[in-house]
Amino acid sequence: MSRNGYSEKLFLTQSIDSLTITRRNALLARSASDDESVSITTSKLIIDVRQRGDLALRDMALRFDRVELERLEVPREACRAAVDSLDRKLLRALERAIHNIESVQRAFLPTSTEATPELGIVVGRRPDPLDRVGVYAPGGRAAYPSSVLMGAVPARVAGVREIVLCSPPGPLGLPSQVVLAAAELAGVDRVFAIGGAGAIAAMAYGTESVPRVDRIVGPGNAYVAEAKLQVASAVAIDSPAGPSELLVVADSSTDPDVVMREVLAQAEHDPRAVAVVIAIGQAVAESILGCIIDALPSQQRRDIIEESLRSRGAVLWAIDVEQAITFANEFAPEHLLLAMARAGDLLPRFRNAGTIFVGEHSSVAFGDYMTGANHVLPTGGLARSYSGLSVLDFIRWTTYQVIDAGAADRLAQDVGIFADAEGLPAHAAAARQWASTGVRQS
């Protein structure tokens, strides 16, 4: 394939200035699903699980996974056996990832704080771990032990009492061996061989076998993402999530082959994965485009990559760094790679991203697997308001207040005035019983 045809292989290849409103909106509006049938189907599956519990989950396993489950819960011995059967090199890699995740998340652990706004008043905030959380690990196209680690290890560091994992069953009725091994190594307490929207519903509402959890985390397909949104009124979720995303900001100091490798690695995730490059200058953009096109024929997952690039890929060029920063903050990607000179100096100006990789050596692959950072991140532009998964997602804050007698006396009149203004006479009376009279009113 000649480089002359590269523009047909990408959704967009043009300057930021020349983007029409329609094309710009297409880049920015990246919802998890715009298919109404996904919402309708997911709703029916959730209702079925709520009404029929385990029986519905068994029927879904037969329908979607083509396996008849004797039991939904995976025996603990199967998880231990999976660790024993694991390739030693893979075992070491998983253990290294767990160590790094633990190290990073322990550094993020919050502490109790107290404030004294006035003499005699103490207001405190105490972090308490959740009792039970649910982690979802996808199946389907591949096994994702990294998703197990990203959900379970921070939960364990936070002090969660019980960690539940759901992952789709394979032909033998169990999740993949590597997922089971990761669950054992990460300290998961219970594993269930169920997937899709049914698994999310089971963890949100509980069934005969699956316990109800306090929060559900982890990535999944469009039905999993939609199910998490639909159960969010009953259980906390990490963040709405869609297909994986990468935005690269690159300048002339960067090796274009580095950018090419990151783009192809991103695009091979899924046909709906998003891979966008903002180059500083047209010449840089054309150099990167050429590298991408030259590399495509040798890719093992070429069909997936090309579909991703055709539907959601772009190489754009900015007139300067300022324009690139403005667009990146508006785009708010899941992953943002700053493959540019002075990346560290410019880091504070890039505000909206799930996680930022600073410098061309900071490959997204390292962050997805091994640095200890978390790869469960907001997508679809939601990095404007959501954060990536961390130990903080497995903690709720308890606020407490201590008011001594003197402070109660001094607060009484102003609180009574507030209550009168809001038409709450009993509130006013409760406050004014502490008013200064020399003797406390009973």
State pLDDT tens for residues 211-250.
999 999 999 888 999 999 999 999 999 988 888 999 999 9
Q: pLDDT grade, residue 8 (50/70/90)? A: low
Of 58-72, 128-142, 171-185, 325-339, the poorest mean pLDDT is in 128-142
pLDDT tens sequence across 151-210: 999 999 999 999 999 999 999 999 999 999 999 999 999 999 999 999 999 999 999 999
- Quote the mean pLDDT of the chain: 93
Nearest to 243 by CA among 225, 228, 231: 225
Task: Note the pTM of the prediction, 2 decimals.
Answer: 0.91
Strands 245-250 and 274-280: parallel
Active site residues: 334-335
**CB-CB contact of 32 with 380 (8 Å):** yes
Which tokens hold the place of 404?
């001594």
Split at pLDDT 50, 70, 90, the class of 386 is: very high
As a whole number, mean pLDDT of residues 28-57 equals 90
Q: Helices H, strands E: what count in the chain?
A: 17, 14
Q: Rounded distance, CA 375 to CA 69, Å?
A: 31
Nearest 10 degrees: Cα torsion 429, 431, 432, 434: 130
pLDDT in tens, 136-150: 999 866 788 999 999
The structural domains of the chain, ordered by start, are 3-30+242-366 (3.40.50.1980), 36-238 (3.40.50.1980), 404-442 (no CATH)
